[in-house]
Structure 1
Amino acid sequence: MIRPLICLLAFFFSVFASAADAPLPAKDKFYLFLLVGQSNMAGRGVVEEQDKVVNPRVLMLSKEGQWVPAMDPMHFDKPAAGVGLGKTFGQIVAEANPGVTIGLIPCAVGGSPIDAWKPGVFYPPTKSHPWDDMVKRVETALPAGTLKGILWHQGESDSTAELATAYGEKLHDLINRLRELVKAPEVPFIAGQMGKFDGVPWSPEKVLVDKAHQDLPKSAPRTAFVTAEGLNHKGDKVHFDSAAYRELGKRYAAAYLQMTK
């Protein structure tokens, strides 16, 4: 009994090692995408069997900094991390670009306001430094590939009377800092809409933050806005359900492909 068990464990370890150490494509054929924001970028959907199916041309940077096949949950910000939009996005972009491998860099932090995405800022709820931690992951990822886009989903934590009015200015500053970080002044930046769920009214502050997202294509070059119209929440009136995250990933991918066709 012991010997078969040892053989089985050895098999699984070898599979894991081969996945983690798989040779990467040439740098110009490895398209990298940065996933940034709060919990609706990290994903809080229930993981189903389809979310565990991997595509050999869609990888993610693991918590340990290794390139592994993308599988939900991709993020590790909180124990609640689940299905998000990133994997679906990566699969569609890979399908549209034969011969290219997609590399996703998960960096979102649940609950984080936009002010947490500045150098040196500590975010107590997750005991992390969202910006500084992201910088380390970007520095790990960039030597292997070419950054092709930044995906942003955030805003709920800034939809307050104290923060909403300054959100637009802060968003433009963030975009500039991210582009400077990755040394790509024209890299596409795509912002997704906060959940617009039936029976869940928006406050005036949330409308203001949403307007900053919607106005991006008119006020900042190489940006796009993705609507969340018609998508459902998971029962908490805040986070999308698994099907909605997959649909949101499709919408982000459509926006990216439209921008780069």
Structure 2
Amino acid sequence: MKKHPEYDLFLFIGQSNMAGRGVTGERWPQRAPELLPGAGYEYRAVSDPGHLHPIAEPFGAAENRSGGIDEPGRKTGSLVTAFVNAYYAATGTPVIGVSASVGGSGIAEWQGEEDFLSDAIRRWTDAERFLAEQKIPVRHRYMLWCQGETDGDRGTGPETYKAKFRAMFAQLQGWGVENCFLIPIGQYNGIHGYDYTAIHQAQLELAQEVPGVVLASDGFGAMRARGLMKDSYHYYQQAYNEVGTEAGKTAGNFVNTKQG
């Protein structure tokens, strides 16, 4: 690890489209980008808590904890590397990333009640402790959130979703998270006809209403029409690359303005 004056710590948190289900196909053969040299490192709180590793896809694949965030073999390629490359290009500050995403999780399971949020906070505090022990300086602390498909399937009401999101974000702010960069969900592409409109709109409203929440990319909404959905819920790697790049640029520009 090449030492930099400062790093930004990111919690990559949410459900399967944050965890990453990217694959290639004949029409969409693009793979995840290679990490720019020195752009970012993964802190593996579960599988290797004593080291940092250069970010690579599938990001977080080894980070499975029985009874918590646990989906061995399901992470195949995420938006994280594309996000980190764009963020680093914009800010010049490398990212230290913590994986805390699991597929099929509704907002009710991110409330800090011995649930997925509880595990995410444990990973976060382990990262903070490690970085302090290693005297690795952290400039900012952020989260990138992408979740909501399960709530669309379950028919979670938009006001319920917003209230539970606020409760979750408030807890993470209590652990030092400064801003939430938000990637809203896209469209459903399956035979059951779930309507994601209400949850998607609720997420856009959260970015307008909640201080500290920043809309990073709404790019998933266009992917079904472009043929970039690989199944009912998930995307080809190219879609993750595009959304990750846009979100990283947005986040980097936001941080640069905040610094100024």
Distance 1:24 1:202 in 2: 50
* Structure 1 unaligned regions, length at least 5: 1-21, 122-128
| CA distance 1:161–1:242, shift in 2 (3 Å) | closer
- Tell me which stretches of 4 or more aligned residues in structure 1 moved more than 6 Å: 197-202
Classify the secondary structure of the residue corresponding to 1:238.
coil
TM-score scaled by length of structure 2: 0.77
Distance 1:50 1:220 in 2: 35
* Structure 2 unaligned regions, length at least 5: 62-69, 132-137
* Counterpart selection for 2:106 from 97, 113, 138: 113
* Counterpart selection for 1:53 from 24, 34, 41: 34
Write the mapping of 1:111-190 to structure 2, written as runs, cut at 5 A: 111-121=104-114, 129-143=115-129, 144=131, 145-160=138-153, 162-165=155-158, 166-182=160-176, 184=177, 187-190=178-181
Asked if residue 191 in structure 1 is aligned to residue 182 in structure 2, the reply is yes
| CA distance 1:51–1:233, shift in 2 (3 Å) | closer
Q: Residue 91 of structure 2 contacts residue 253 of structure 2 at CA under 8 Å; is this kept in 1?
A: no
Q: CA RMSD in A?
A: 2.5
Distance 1:162 1:49 in 2: 34
TM-score scaled by length of structure 1: 0.77
* Counterpart selection for 2:243 from 245, 248, 251: 248
User: How much does 1:223 deviate?
Assistant: 1.6
Q: Residue 195 of structure 1 contacts residue 233 of structure 1 at CA under 8 Å; is this kept in 2?
A: no
Residue of structure 1 in register with 2:67 after alignment: none
The answer to which structure has the higher helix fraction is: 1
Per-residue deviation, residues 143-193 of structure 1 (Å, max 9, x unmatched): 4234432110000111145523411111111111111122x4xx2212212
Higher relative contact order (CA 8 A, sep 6+): 2
Q: Residue 9 of structure 2 contacts residue 142 of structure 2 at CA under 8 Å; is this kept in 1?
A: yes
Q: Which moved more, 1:34-43 or 1:131-140?
A: 131-140
Residue of structure 2 in register with 1:16 after alignment: none
Q: Residue 87 of structure 2 contacts residue 248 of structure 2 at CA under 8 Å; is this kept in 1?
A: yes
Identity of aligned residues (%): 21
Distance 1:218 1:69 in 2: 34
| CA distance 1:237–1:161, shift in 2 (3 Å) | closer
